[in-house]
Structure 1
Amino acid sequence: MKMLIVYTYPNHKSLNYAFFQNVMKGSSENPYITEVKVLDLYEEGFNPLLVFNEEKRRRDMHTDPNIEKYRKQITWADKIVFIYPIWWGRPPAMLLGYIDQLFASNFAYKDKKGYFPEGLLKGKSVVCVSTMKGPTHYPFLWLNNAHKILMKRALFNFVGIKKVKFFEFGNMESPKGNQMKKLERIYKYFKKIDQ
């Protein structure tokens, strides 16, 4: 299994980075994971801004040479792991900008007759590891599960990715947030995952 990790947090001395390190540690001990590539969006200096004008049109995003290497990473991967905080009930703008550009028509999906397109990323799977200051059940109870609906239904299922696993860790700024226990959970998950 080939795995792409998309890390989206601007600080490497953070809990999010500790989750990233535990994903890497568990993956390195997993015989089913043959290769891992890492995309650190902030360190990479990824530009999340969409620009459309007379020369650059939305319908041509799937051939944009500026993001070709990122399309190749997605095509290469069997599993894509996203590590990010939940800010204002959703992923950071940096990650959403990546999604806006990469999950484009004629690369991630293809329009066809009817209500739904043909997903072109079938066979891949996704794991979302996210942290938040608020309680763990805040997105579910207060925001009608908006984060998971956005990521799973509006994005991943739309492009053909049906296998999506979520880890939403709440209370991460609290001394009672059980951070070490949650870090261990991520390490063990990636050490054992087989598909």
Structure 2
Amino acid sequence: MNIMLVLAHPNKNSFNHAIALRIREGLEAQGHIVSFHDLYEETFDPVLYGDERDLLDPLVRQHRAELAATEGLVIIHPNWWGQPPAMLKGWIDKIICEGVAYRFNTGDDGSGIPEGLLHIRSALVVNTSNTPEVRELSAFKDPLDTIWRSCVLAYCGVQEIRRKVFRVVAGSTNAQREKWLWEAERLALYIFR
């Protein structure tokens, strides 16, 4: 299976990086073809210009083509203020766009329900958080789940959407992190079997 893996964390020593590498290694060991994108390492430009600069950017063209052709998607990022990092939000705006991920029927001015264009069978979103689950759910209602499940992926036709949150990362032990890495890899291998 062709799988696109997108990582959005600026610190190469982050737990997000460790998760991404473990999932990538596990999927490749199972024979999957993984297109790995560390948005910060690639210096992806998250600013949506709305003009020719977006269309001429070779990285934007590459990511759009890969997304259109991929069968599986993995997105890994921290929970920052109940949102993805700005880098990833810019990636969504530029890559998961009309004509690539969805379209409107002829005559629809954009106010109707779009048709999803993605051929992604399954998507996995992995988040890290320093907010305990009880507080997250009672105070914030898990906005990342709404963003990924309802506002982005289902909108583009993705049927199976899984999300895993590892928390509380701050103060976690090496043993706990190793257990989480194992869980992340096992989950990815299960989803993309």
Alignment TM class, shorter chain as reference: 0.7 to 0.9
Residue aligning to 2:98: 105
Does residue 125 (structure 1) correspond to residue 116 (structure 2)? The answer is: no
How far apart in 2 are the matches of 1:138 and 1:101? 33
For residues 176 and 165 of structure 1, do their structure 2 counterparts lie closer, same or farther at Cα, with a shift above 3 Å needed?
A: same
Aligned length: 186
Q: Secondary structure at 1:43's aligned position in 2?
A: coil
**Contact 1:2–1:36, Cα closer than 8 Å, also in 2:** yes
Residue aligning to 1:160: 157
**Contact 2:101–2:116, Cα closer than 8 Å, also in 1:** yes
How far 1:163 sits from its partner (Å)?
1.0
TM-score, normalisation: structure 1: 0.86
Q: Secondary structure at 2:187's aligned position in 1?
A: helix
TM-score, normalisation: structure 2: 0.87
Identify unmatched segments of 5+ residues in structure 2. Answer: none
How far apart in 2 are the matches of 1:107 and 1:191? 27
Does residue 85 (structure 1) correspond to residue 102 (structure 2)? The answer is: no
How far apart in 2 are the matches of 1:123 and 1:17? 23
| Aligned-residue RMSD, C-alpha | 2.2
How far 1:137 sits from its partner (Å)?
4.3
How far apart in 1 are the matches of 2:165 and 2:135? 10
Report % sequence identity.
Answer: 26
How far 1:188 sits from its partner (Å)?
2.0
How far 1:144 sits from its partner (Å)?
1.8
Structure with higher RCO (Cα < 8 A, 6+ apart): 1
Cα deviations by residue, 1:14-73 (Å, 9 ceiling, x for unpaired): 211111121022213324x2x111111001000101113xxx28xx97xx2322111111
Q: Secondary structure at 1:39's aligned position in 2?
A: strand
Residue aligning to 1:26: 26
Does residue 39 (structure 1) correspond to residue 37 (structure 2)? The answer is: yes
